[in-house]
Amino acid sequence: MGPLLWPDLQRHPKQRPITLPADPEAGVSLIHVNDTASTFVAAVERLGSISGHKSSYPVFDVTTSHESLAYIFTKFSKELGYNGSQIQLTSAPEGRAFPEIFIQAFNTKVTSSSTRVQTVLG
């Protein structure tokens, strides 16, 4: 995300609004490294019970929080020294070349849940 935000921070005074090509409603699912490790350990410990069944498949969504791109960009810009009050997100750009396709990949709306992994792996 740095390459998308950093040039704008360098070009503008650190108090002016920053405009970024991102969907204001886009968000990502996050997971802490400790939760990732715990999930892998639980899956390996229960591998015999979750593999080989026709009614079950060992694929899980594992997420501990959902954050909006607006929140992430705001916090990220503050860490880079931006003192302004506004990060403006426009819609994701159209196109199939770089950087448009890269920006589109970050502009997804994710609906994930750890419910299945908690039910199956405990």
User: What b-and-e string marks burial along 31-49, b requiring 16 or more CB atoms within 10 Å of the CB?
Assistant: eeeebeeebeebbeeeeee
Of the pLDDT bands very low, low, confident and very high (cuts 50, 70, 90), residue 110 is low
The three-class DSSP label of residue 72 is helix
pTM of the prediction?
A: 0.57
Per the DSSP assignment, residues forming a β-bridge with 66 are 29
Please give the backbone phi and psi of residue 7, each rounded to the nearest 5 degrees, phi first: -60, -40
User: Which of 5-19, 51-65, 84-98 has the lowest average pLDDT?
Assistant: 5-19
